Structure 1
Amino acid sequence: MNRLHPLSAVTLALQRGVTGFSIPFFLVGIGSSIFDLDIGLLFVLSPVGLVAGIGYGIAYYYRFSYEVTPSTFDVSSGVLSRRSREIPYRRIQNVDVSQGVLQRVLGLAVVSIETAGGGETEATLNFVSEDEAERLRTEIRHRTAAADGRTADASGRTTDDRRTATAEAIDAVDADGISNPDQAERTRDQGGPVLLFELEMKELLLYALTSFRWGAAIFPIAILFFVSGVDFESGRIPQFVLAVAQPLGGAETVDGAAVGPLLILIATAAIQWTVATYVASAIYTVANYYGFQLGRAGDDFVYERGLIQRYSGSIPAEKVQSVTVTENPLQRLVGYAGLWVETAGYGPDMGNASQSAVPLAGADRIYRFAENLTGVETPRFRNPPSMARRRYFARYSLIAGCLVVAALVLSRVSAFDRWSLSIVAFLVVPPAAHLKYENLGYFIGEDHLVIRRGFWKRRTTVIPYYRVQTVSTRRSIFQRRLGLASLAVDTASSRTFAWGSPTIYDIDLETARNAHATGRDRLQSALRERARADDIGLSVDFT
């Protein structure tokens, strides 16, 4: 059995020691207000907690062990309560390695092992040396390949791939202009994975400027609270927020402000917050995807990324459930798109390892990648019936009407007297309904189902039939009156909980029923063919 790096004992001791030292402050603080405890107990309990925490951290280090066996990856842990896990290699989805700044300086790494059946990490080795992390990743990949009926050499390539991996992968890289073939040749000569894609600085900046992550909104909020001294109870907010709103009729102060100026202040503050979120999102994207590289090692994709914290991991091709091409209006305007893959129980933005196969590249190249990766024929999309477009027109007209009513109410309670300008919202309704309709489509192929939806974040998802878990027909009240239905397709990927299941929206009820039956029949056919052929159904060669 192997142990973690000795510095892990120091880290655990410090973490547990700080926890043990701080717990008495919380307990005595609560107890003194209820039971009138003597505050002097802190000088006794806190040192005891510090010593107990340090002792527990050291004991946890010595009680933690792991081992790579022929059939399972074994982990034993726990001080008071022991836990032993045997993880079969067939269930392993991802082996990810992450390093913070301090960890890179110390030559340490965190190894996370993900399995099918859930988004949580099955085992975490915190910390091991960089060499040990790479050894574990390579050996687990080797044994995973063997468990799946393949054999792999020391670099992770399967035996069948040794003869053709270099020529096919480098030819594919060179043909699509993904990266420098000389660099790919060097990585192969050094025994590493064959480089398939490298995110250049121009593409990284373009990706940062054309992406918007709402999760980054927490950063400007934190700055306001901890730097600017925001206090809503006393009505104290940053002066620059008030200064931007005042020329537009906003309130000079929150305390005692009229409804109208206060609403204008809220609107301008929301705009400033959105701009700050966009800037924070761009910074996060640059830090997160700096130095992104995608390579091939046998039948796995391997990637590296990150500026402040470095991530690396593998994506087994045979574990891929679906492939999605993403584009927003800005990216479509400049002719770029991204490619994401989803594996069972572990999706792109879950945990600390993104599974973006290609964050951003030319749209033509991305679509070729998706076709070559999945083997799908070039899709010929079908749009929903024209009745769906009329439905979207009615829906957006109702939204525009609500905006007009809101503006009218605002004019009654404030000095805002240009409520009639809100009628312009009705001019947006026809193009909005048309764009919603035009960006919907589906293609029922021989071996794959392709679904396209969304305008602001258009997603084109390719799903092999043998990966389909369930197909369900859904009808709202309005769809039933119009004779329409939506067809939702679920796979084993947990990523669909965040993006929503790939869905064919607003098609004729009879078409939905036929597609449902066709999908079920082709799923059974695909499963029978795969049982006979016993192949993984996906290619890692971008040819």
Structure 2
Amino acid sequence: MSASAPIPAPDVPPASEQPWQRLDVRTILASVLVLAAVLLGIGVVVAIGMLLLGVGPGWVLLWVGGGVTVLSALVALVEWIRLRTTTYRLDGTRIERRVRFLGSSRTSLARDRIRNVELSADLFQRRLGIAEVKLATADGGGERFHLQALDRAVADALRIELLGERATAETGTLATIDWGWLRYAPVSLTTGAIGVAAYGAVFQVFDWFAAVPALIAWIAQTFGAFPLILLIPALILGAVVLGAVATLALYVEGWWGYRLGRHRDASLDLHRGLLVSRSTVFDGDRLRGLTLHEPLGLRRVGGARLDVIAVGVKAPEGDQKNAQSPALVPASPRAVGAGVAATVLGAALPEELSSHPPAARRKRFLRAGMLTAAGTVPAVIPALLRPSLWWIPVLTVLVLAALTAVLALDNARGLGHLVTERHVVLRKGSLFRRTDVMDREGVLGWNLTRSPFQRRSGLGTVVATSAGGSGAFHLPDVAAEQAREVMGSAGRVWEHLQVGAPAAGDVSAGAGRRPPSAGPGDAAPRDR
């Protein structure tokens, strides 16, 4: 009996031969509409300036309208080229993006390294039914993969494919928007800064048309009769009002429809945004802790905001447009952020922390004195030119001394740390106070640095290194015993690095010394 012929294998293409997909053509129209809206806003300002300079309405319409048309056409061309040259594909192991224009580039991510998926769509994209997809990986580098834009149904299907059961699992609600929180939006140092920037923007626009002298002359003619003691507070009040309006508008846009949910596997599901809607999932296995921000203004009214420390999500610095935001809870009552933190961490936020030695407080008061002296030097110049202005340096010294002393005391009181069974807590700052609560298993290692002044005072700065957030979390001005306690929180994996006890006052030696990153003894199986 002859051997039977082998049965041919089914004709199934390998994963690497999956077809390449293109972006959605509607992204061209969406980009053009966004740019046209921005250009029209700028065009109105330019048109007003040209009319004030005596340019005829016809020429104004020609220049402004023509500029908007030409730039919009240029953007449409650029988007068309990007649409024709960008493709992507997804198989069982990887997602890839390929760009072929004058040269060729390819970005590839392993699916098991993708930790966070974000869908976003601005107002025009939502109306057109498309969305952008941003992927963050487990390397701590933030957003690396960006698809702009896909059909909304395709984007949702891609999100479900990448996240698996987490994308469709039921979630418990941790927090939703309460518009009473709006009262916390203007309580920020950025409020005044935005107002001052608005004044600067007005002068910049007039400078475009060489009309700053005319503006100054109009201001002098209109407000010259008012005494300076009334005019300066009025200008400050105007800046605060403008800044408050801007911060309220940003708060509403950023947190409209806010809802924070939690899956059974501890993953977090965040939805928010008005003009630009955002839908983000943070992988529960990659959460490394939380940061409670309590800047001075918010702290005085009992408010705070909460950020996540997670692998693949960096602090909002550098590339602001593409970076994935770590924000979890907006400016709101502190109890709201603390409640969410307690649920996510599985333990309540500690209120009482270990304080730092008196030398840390003395260091802050010394710094306050130096700042007072530096700020007084320019104030002495008017008194030297005109002795009758002696009160200016005196008033400057009194105000700066009181202000810096209060901030120094508040900064010293804010310093603290605590090591619990599961977490290590680091708190610092006054104007921008923050409390970092990190999972001990998520700390890769510890660094210890000392400046010459710290060495003389027996102090040091310990730095926790982690794959989440900014990657480095500082706790300044700790004593030797405190440094060993904090640095020993990494657990038994570091026991092979223990050395003899340090000499008194010497923070650089001792059992708490740690390498800057995970050593060979770190055998933890998961990504940190």
TM-score (norm 2): 0.71
Q: 1:516 to 1:234 in 2, by over 3 A?
A: same
3-state DSSP class of the match of 2:280?
Answer: strand
Is the deviation greater in 306-315 or in 376-385? 376-385
Following superposition, the deviation at residue 321 of structure 1 comes to: 2.8
Indicate which of 262, 279, 282 corresponds to 1:296. Answer: 262
Q: Does 1:156 align with 2:168?
A: yes
Structure-2 change in CA distance of 1:289 and 1:12 (3 Å): closer
The AA in structure 2 aligned to 1:518 is G
Percent of matched pairs sharing the same residue: 22
- Aligned CA RMSD, in angstroms, stands at 4.1
Residue 64 of structure 1 corresponds to 86
1:339 and 1:366 in contact (8 A); partners too: yes
Partner of 2:176: 198
Match of 2:326 in 1: 355
Alignment CA distance shift 1:452-1:304 (3 Å): same
Aligned to 1:34: none
Q: Distance in 2 between matches of 1:241 and 1:439?
A: 46
CA contact (8 A) 2:341 2:349 kept: no
C-alpha separation in 2, matches of 1:50 and 1:235: 33
CA distance in 1, matches of 2:28, 2:263: 33
- Counterpart of 2:391 in structure 1: which amino acid? R
- What do residues 14-72 of structure 1 show as CA deviations (whole Å, max 9, x unaligned)? 999xxxxxxxxxxxxxxxxxxxxxxxxxxxxxxxx999997875464344332332221
Report what 1:410 is aligned to: 382
> Which residue of 300, 305, 310 maps to 1:333?
300
CA deviation profile, 1:485-526 (whole Å, cap 9, x unmatched):
121222223535xxxx422222223432x1365134456489
Is the 2:424–2:486 Cα contact (8 Å) retained in structure 1? no
Cross-structure match for 2:151? 129
Which consecutive unaligned segments of at least 5 residues does structure 1 have?
17-48, 143-151, 158-187, 251-263, 538-543
Residue number among 332, 338, 346 corresponding to 1:367 in the alignment: 338
Stretch moving more, 517-526 or 92-101? 517-526
When structure 1 is superposed on structure 2, of 445-454 and 50-59 the one drifting more is 50-59
Whether 1:224 aligns to 2:182 is no
The letter for the 2-side match of 1:384 is H
Please give the alpha-carbon distance, in whole angstroms, between the structure 2 residues aligned to 1:325 and 1:219.
30
2:282 to 315, 318, 343: 315
How far the C-alpha of 1:383 sits from its partner, in A, is 0.6
Of 434-443 and 222-231, more deviation after overlay is shown by: 222-231
Structure 2 Cα separation of the partners of residues 229 and 243 of structure 1: 23
User: 1:230–1:236: 8 Å Cα contact kept in structure 2?
Assistant: no
Is this contact kept in 2: 1:449–1:465, CA < 8 A?
yes
1:493 aligned counterpart, secondary structure: coil
* Cα gap change, 1:490 to 1:221, in 2 (>3 Å): farther
Tell me if the contact between 1:384 and 1:506 (Cα under 8 Å) persists in the aligned partners.
Answer: yes
Give 1:397's match in structure 2, choosing from 360, 364, 369: 369
470, 475, 498: which one aligns with 1:504:
475
Q: Secondary structure at the match of 2:146?
A: strand
Shift of 1:340: 0.6
Alignment map for 1:10-409 (pairs within 5 Å): 58=80, 60-117=82-139, 119=141, 121-142=143-164, 152=165, 155-157=167-169, 193-203=171-181, 205-213=182-190, 216=194, 220-226=199-205, 237=216, 239-240=218-219, 247=226, 276-299=242-265, 300-349=267-316, 350-352=320-322, 353-376=324-347, 379=350, 380-409=352-381
Alignment-mate amino acid for residue 394 of structure 1: L
Once the two structures are TM-superposed, the CA of residue 277 in structure 1 deviates from its matched residue by 4.1
| Counterpart residue type for residue 281 of structure 1 | T
52-61 or 429-438, which deviates more: 52-61
Alignment partner, residue 8 of structure 1? 27
1:302 & 1:85 partners in 2: Cα distance? Answer: 26
CA contact (8 A) 2:186 2:243 kept: no
- CA positional deviation for 1:88: 0.9
The one-letter code sitting in structure 2 at the alignment partner of 1:197 is A
- Distance, in Å, in 2 between the alignment partners of 1:311 and 1:411 is 56
The answer to whether the 8 Å contact 2:89/2:96 transfers is: yes
The Cα of 1:76 is off from its aligned counterpart by 2.4
1:460 to 2:435 alignment: yes
- Residue 208 of structure 1 contacts residue 286 of structure 1 at CA under 8 Å; is this kept in 2? no
Does structure 1 retain, via aligned residues, the 8 Å contact 2:140–2:314?
A: no
Distance 2:213 2:73 in 1: 43
Partner Cα distance (1:241, 1:292) in 2 = 47
Counterparts in 2 of 1:7 and 1:429: CA distance versus 1, 3 Å: closer
In the TM superposition, what whole-angstrom CA distance separates every residue of 1:376-429 from its partner, at most 9, and x where no partner exists?
Answer: 565341111122222222221222233333322233346744222223233445
AA aligned to 1:196 is L
The CA distance in 2 between the partners of 1:246 and 1:522, in whole Å, is: 74
How much does 1:11 deviate?
6.4
The corresponding residue for 2:12 is none
- Number of residue pairs the alignment of both structures matches: 443
CA distance in 2, matches of 1:131, 1:241: 59
Letter in structure 2 aligned against 1:136 = L
Matched, 1:518 2:480: no
Q: TM-score scaled to structure 1, two decimals?
A: 0.69
The 1:413–1:114 alpha-carbon spacing in structure 2 relative to 1, beyond 3 Å, is farther
Are the structure 2 counterparts of residues 241 and 476 from structure 1 closer, same or farther at C-alpha, using a change threshold of 3 Å?
farther
Q: Is the 1:466–1:524 Cα contact (8 Å) retained in structure 2?
A: no
446 and 231 in structure 1: CA distance in 2 versus 1, 3 angstrom threshold: farther
Asked whether the 8 Å contact 1:12–1:61 carries over to 2, the reply is no
Q: Return closer, same or farther for 1:489/1:230 CA change in 2, 3 Å cut-off.
A: farther
In structure 2, the CA distance between the partners of 1:416 and 1:309, relative to structure 1 (3 Å rule), is: farther
Q: Rate the CA distance shift 1:67–1:411 in 2: closer, same or farther, 3 A.
A: same
The amino acid that maps onto 2:130 is L
Q: Distance in 2 between matches of 1:246 and 1:387?
A: 53
Displacement after TM superposition at 1:458 (Å): 1.6
CA drift of 1:442 comes to 0.4
CA distance in 2, matches of 1:66, 1:427: 60
Question: Which residue does the alignment assign to 1:181?
Answer: none
> Are the equivalent residues in 2 in contact too, given 1:71–1:89 (CA < 8 A)?
yes
